[in-house]
Structure 1
């Protein structure tokens, strides 16, 4: 049985998508959360899904245990269930700042770290996965097969997570911010088209550009060359972007990676006590 401790945004999305894409049947899932009322609607939709009495009950019944709670709560959950975890159990943590090493201080068994993506809502995007050396090969394949139903899976080392998360899990937010500013600026120079019309054209152009790059295996420079002909209008805009965007993105990565480091330090402190 596959257990989910926590039923927030990510936990609820994974449960729903795994069922929708037939990666799991409702009767193969057991869920635990502090606020039981959150699960009433889930039980109404999926009558065969299992609702645990508490986290300990879930740990007794589930072989695979997804920890979907907020990062400050992870240690408390692990302390609560540790006496019910044997070598056959497999912990899958979604808490980005909690290292596998910290989890192993409480449960020295099979541990995987996963960073899903909001793009799994449409069965797209990249899910990052790292396993410790104790995870059995069949269990690696099983966990990865679940996420392959709703995304592309990239197995990496835990050391690569901070940077890889920026370009997968965080990127939809970054890109949306960029194109939101692009749209707002474009509206300043337009007196006739409505905002919804501009958004519709822009979103479809973004989608089509990404599809072109992906399906034709093009470099970004290939698209620029196709559109920004020498001496043309697009070239003028590209020059401005190339001049100003590099330092902006340097600062983005500096700020986010530093914030990630600070959050990790706080998480490490929790596991010292």
Structure 2
């Protein structure tokens, strides 16, 4: 079965490259397109077996599974444009969080899945948040699960936790990359270490931390307890973090949820018009 990708921006490209690297999909099974076709052709040059379609309609016509990797407010106009081409046999996969599977199902006659990826999927790691529509057959569910399992850990989520799950799994890499970068910048500014050496050490540290957790050698709590010896240096640093970070992540979540509600309302107006 051919797999189509409409939109080859950051996340569309990440999914394409992850599918190919993992062997989940062969290049000649992929049909891709983008509003700016030059971006799609650039991917094709790196992976010559890929087909670049002239437009989104051609992707739908040629593929059984179609992934919409476009911005939230572009989804509804695109679905209207593609209305004549969907069949009940198609599986539409949307990667945008503000649009529910119920809204998608109301707009198309086919099977619908929402799958929210993470940049970690590019390393064939991390989670991908999956919500199946009510029309998805058992075969469709199995196919989509098997496809995503090659590049990530598929996690089924309810609509109620869409935003917070996305904050952790999808936005989390950006949040914690920012914190790590600030840690490196402070180290270089306040001590004799170079930014390059601090970056190397911090990178090795975060990879090692992930490996400890992946191998289930420690939980987050027990890991902190092992490193933070009573009366020691680490404990002094933790005390600063406890004072300064009080309420920070609560505010982060409040802001992301506020923006999410705004987007959901704009999308609702589009789909109800």
In 2, Cα distance between equivalents of 1:207 and 1:139: 35
| Distance change >3 Å, CA 230–CA 37, structure 1 → 2 | closer
Shift of 1:157: 1.9
In 1, Cα distance between equivalents of 2:82 and 2:124: 32
1:29 is matched with 30
2:160 is matched with 159
1:265 is matched with 265
SS class of match (1:179): helix
1:242 is matched with 242
Shift of 1:116: 0.7
- Report if aligned partners of 2:8, 2:39 keep a CA contact under 8 Å in 1: yes
In 2, Cα distance between equivalents of 1:238 and 1:92: 43
SS class of match (1:4): strand
CA distances 1:226-250 after superposition (whole Å, capped 9, x unpaired)? 1111122211211221233231111
In 1, Cα distance between equivalents of 2:216 and 2:54: 51
In 2, Cα distance between equivalents of 1:17 and 1:164: 21
Give the aligned length.
272
What residue ranges of structure 1 are gaps of 5+ in the alignment?
A: none
The normalised TM-score by structure 1 is: 0.93
CA distances 1:23-52 after superposition (whole Å, capped 9, x unpaired)? 111221212222223233333343332222
RMSD: 1.6
What residue ranges of structure 2 are gaps of 5+ in the alignment?
A: none
CA distances 1:100-124 after superposition (whole Å, capped 9, x unpaired)? 1221221143110011111122111
- Report if aligned partners of 2:105, 2:112 keep a CA contact under 8 Å in 1: yes
* Aligned ranges 1:187-198 → 2 under 5 Å: 187-190=188-191, 192-198=192-198
1:84 is matched with 85
- Report if aligned partners of 2:86, 2:109 keep a CA contact under 8 Å in 1: no
Please identify, of 58-67 and 213-222, the stretch whose mean Cα deviation from structure 2 is larger: 213-222
SS class of match (1:24): coil
In 2, Cα distance between equivalents of 1:271 and 1:24: 33
Please identify, of 218-227 and 67-76, the stretch whose mean Cα deviation from structure 2 is larger: 218-227
2:18 is matched with 17
